[in-house]
Amino acid sequence: MIRMRRLRKTPALRQFVQENTVTVSDLVLPLFIKAGHHIKNPIASMPGHFQLSLDQLPAEITEIQALKIPAVILFAIPAKKDAIGSCAWDDQGVIQEAVRFIKKTAPEILVITDLCFCEYTDHGHCGVWDADKKCVDNDKTLELLAKQAISHAKAGADIIAPSGMMDSMVQAVRVGLDAAHFQDIPILSYAVKYASCFYGPFREAAEGAPQFGDRKSYQMNPANANEALKEAELDALEGADMLMVKPAQNYLDIVYRMKQAFPEMPLGAYQVSGEFAMIKAAAEKKWIDHDAAMRESLLSIKRAGADFIITYFAKEFARLQ
C-alpha cells in the first residue's frame, strides 16, 4: 500500500511539503483615485474599498506601507469626460498627481498605472468611438494611448499597463515611450482580457460603464482559449515585459496555459471585482468562511501559474500574516 496520508498527518508535515504559497509580496492592490477634495466614497459592491481623492492618499499609503504591500495599480475617476478622453494625458490629471505623490512619499511602492480610456470618455468605451462604424476606432486610439503612457511615465510610474485590448497597443505604447526616452519603463500588458460579466462592481467603482453597447468587439470571447495564446504571443513580440490574464478565478486554465507557453515572462492574474464580491456576499450570508475562501482563491491562482496577483483582498490578506 502506498500511504499518501503519511505526509498529511500534522500541520508541520503538511507545511513542510506544501508546493505553493501565497505571500503579501505576491499581491498588487487596486486604488480608485477621484478628482476633488475630502472624498472617501464607499463602494457598496466592494466592501472595504473607496473612491479616494488625492488628499486621502497619505493615510492610505501609510497603511499600505505598514502592511508591506509591494505594489498598487491606479484607476482614475476624472472631473471631466469627453469623446476622446483627453484628461487621460493631462500632466496635471488625477492619476499623474497620485503617481507623483506616491513616488515622493513612498518610493519603495511599485506604482502601476492602468492605461485605458473607459474612465475618461463620456461614452464609457475604451477608445475613440467611431459613430459611423459603431465601434472603437483602433488606430486612432493607439495614438492617444501613446500620449497617455508618456504622461504617466513623466509623472514617475514604474510600470505601464495597457488594458483596452486594442490591436498593436503594446507596440504603440513601446514606440511612444522609447521615443520620449522612457525606454526603461516596463509594460505589463493586459494581454488576455475577457469580455466578462464579473467586472460589474469595478464599473461602479471607476464610473466607467459603457453608455451603450458592450465591449465584445475588443475584449475576448470567454469561450476561447487558443486565441488567448495568440494574443499573448503578439504582445510579447510587440515588446511586453509582463503578461496578464483577467479575470482570474474562472480562467485558471488560461493562467496555466499562459505560464506553460511563456515560462520566461512574468505572469499576472487579476482577481476582479465580481470574484471579490461573490466571496464577500457568500461570507456575509455565512455560507462560507471568509478568510478560508480568500486564502484558497488566491492560492488557486498562484498554483495555476501566476507570479503575482492583482486583488482587492490585498489588505485583508496582509493583516492575517
Cell of 87: 484628461
Distance between CA atoms of 40 and 57, rounded to whole angstroms?
Answer: 10
Question: Stretch 78-97: mean pLDDT, rounded?
Answer: 88
> Cβ distance 85 to 144 under 8 Å?
yes
Distance between CA atoms of 276 and 316, rounded to whole angstroms?
Answer: 12
Tell me which residue range forms the domain holding 178. 22-319
pLDDT value at residue 25: 98
For residue 280, how far is the Cα from the chain centroid?
19
- Evaluate if residue 127 carries a pLDDT over 90: no
CB atoms under 10 Å from CB of 209, counted, come to 13
Q: pLDDT tens digits, residue range 204-240?
A: 665 556 665 566 677 899 999 999 999 999 999 999 9
Q: Which residues pair with 224 in a beta bridge?
A: none
Is residue 60 one of the residues assigned to a domain?
yes
DSSP 290: H
CB atoms under 10 Å from CB of 168, counted, come to 16
Q: pLDDT tens digits, residue range 20-68?
A: 999 999 999 999 999 999 999 999 899 999 999 999 999 999 999 999 9
> Residues near 217 by Cβ (< 8 Å), separated by ≥ 6?
135, 136
pLDDT value at residue 192: 97
Is residue 291 one of the residues assigned to a domain?
yes
Task: Please tell me which residue in 34, 246, 259, 315 is annotated as part of the active site.
Answer: 246
For residue 253, name the pLDDT band (cuts at 50, 70, 90): very high
Helix 138-155 to helix 94-105 angle (10° resolution) is 30
CA atoms within 13 A of residue 214's CA, in its CB half-sphere: 11
**Residue 148 to residues 89, 107, 119, 130, 229, Cα–Cα distance (Å):** 4, 22, 13, 20, 27
**Active-site residue, 246 included:** yes
Is residue 300 one of the residues assigned to a domain?
yes
Query: 84 vs 71, which has greater pLDDT?
Result: 71
Question: Stretch 178-199: mean pLDDT, rounded?
Answer: 96
- CATH number of the domain at 207, please: 3.20.20.70
Task: Please tell me which residue in 193, 280, 302, 315 is annotated as part of the active site.
Answer: 193
**Active-site residue, 140 included:** no
Is residue 233 one of the residues assigned to a domain?
yes
In three-state secondary structure terms, 10 is coil
Is residue 13 one of the residues assigned to a domain?
no
Residue type, 92: Q
Handedness of CA 217, 219, 220, 222 (dihedral sign): negative
Cell of 196: 466578462
For residue 175, how far is the Cα from the chain centroid?
22
Output the pTM of the full model: 0.94
Is residue 139 one of the residues assigned to a domain?
yes
Mean confidence (pLDDT) of the chain: 93
**Number of structural domains the chain divides into:** 1
